[in-house]
A and B are shown apart, each in its own frame.
Chain A
Amino acid sequence: MGISGADKWLELYGNDLYRYAFFRVHDNDLAEDLVQETLLAALKGKEQFTGQSAEKTWLIGILKHKIIDHFRKSKREQLVDDIAVEADRHQARFDASGHWKIPFAEWHNPDKSLEQQQFWEVFNECVKHLPTRLADLYTLRELNELSTDEVCKLLDISTTNNMWVMLSRARMRLRDCLENGWFNPTPQQEP
């Protein structure tokens, strides 16, 4: 197959691979590097492609591992700080007796939003504003390649309990962001 094979992959699946990488690592150059590394690895290992899965699925599988390698190599900020900050954020919602300080409104027909393109645009913006570690944790989990223990180890999360807390904090942040940006935008916040 040789070079023409990789060129064909680039032609056919280059864009899909790039988008797959970009929406998980949020960086143009990095996504490009990952596509390149994937195609190089695919060239080297093309004998392993048995043809049982579609070519694209096989390439995405290689890309997933390149993405995991990237997360493994990237340097991370202190976890303790993250959890402490998030705990303060949560605390601030409640009064001394543990009741909600500020009431919030019902969301109107949220499931309908899932079909709307603008909703996902807003959602993507909200994800981009998550602390990196929280977004990375979610991304790694959803790649479905590593066990919970492996994900925790890779991200330096000391206990499963901490992972639950982090996932819940990510969801709370997304909840707040969507409430302000989608469900109940307050007029003052618009430009």
Chain B
Amino acid sequence: MLTCKEVSELVSQTPERPLSFRERLGIKLHLMMCKLCSRFTRQMKFITKATNTFMYQPEECLDHDHATQLTDEARERIKNKLKEM
């Protein structure tokens, strides 16, 4: 029987880590009886989704953030560098 520690470890390593049949079965049996691990698994699924979305396109997720932008000074500096070419 897998412990909560082991189950949380395994479910947090998915989706990258391929699980064996035995591991999948162990997780399934544990989750049927353990409310906290089921909750943790749901939360980790959400975290995986949110993290993949964010890490793939942080600039889209933070689309409304207008503070982060190329300043006029930086633009000038780059322009001058390009002229040196």
Asked if A pairs with B, the answer is yes
Residues of A within 8 A of B (CB): 3, 6-7, 10, 14-20, 22-24, 32, 35-36, 39-40, 43, 90-91, 93-94, 97-100, 103-104, 106-107, 110-111, 113-114, 117, 120-121, 123-124, 127, 138-139, 141-142, 161, 163-165, 167-172, 174-175, 178-179
Which of the residues A10, A104, A107, A170 comes within 8 Å of B75, measured between beta carbons?
A10
Taking CB atoms, residues of chain A closer than 8 Å to B5 are 90-91, 93-94, 98-99
Which of the residues A32, A111, A174, A175 comes within 8 Å of B70, measured between beta carbons?
A32
Given contacts A138-B51, A172-B12, A178-B47, 19 further A-B contacts (CB under 8 A): A7-B79, A7-B82, A10-B75, A32-B78, A36-B77, A94-B4, A99-B4, A104-B36, A106-B39, A107-B43, A107-B46, A123-B54, A124-B62, A142-B55, A161-B17, A172-B44, A174-B47, A174-B50, A175-B44
Q: B interface, by DSSP: helix, strand, loop or mixed?
A: helix
Which of the residues B16, B49, B55 comes within 8 Å of A139, measured between beta carbons?
B55
Which size bracket describes the interface of B in this complex? 35 or more
Taking CB atoms and an 8 Å cut-off, the chain B residues in 37-59 that contact chain A are: 37, 39-40, 42-44, 46-56, 58-59
Contact (A104, B12) CB under 8 Å given A3-B85, A43-B85, A94-B5 = no
Q: What are 10 A-B pairs at a CB distance below 8 A?
A: A14-B75, A90-B8, A93-B8, A98-B3, A104-B40, A138-B51, A164-B17, A169-B12, A172-B44, A174-B51
- 3 closest residue pairs by CB, A with B: A98-B3, A23-B58, A168-B12
CA A179 to CA B78, docked complex, whole Å:
41
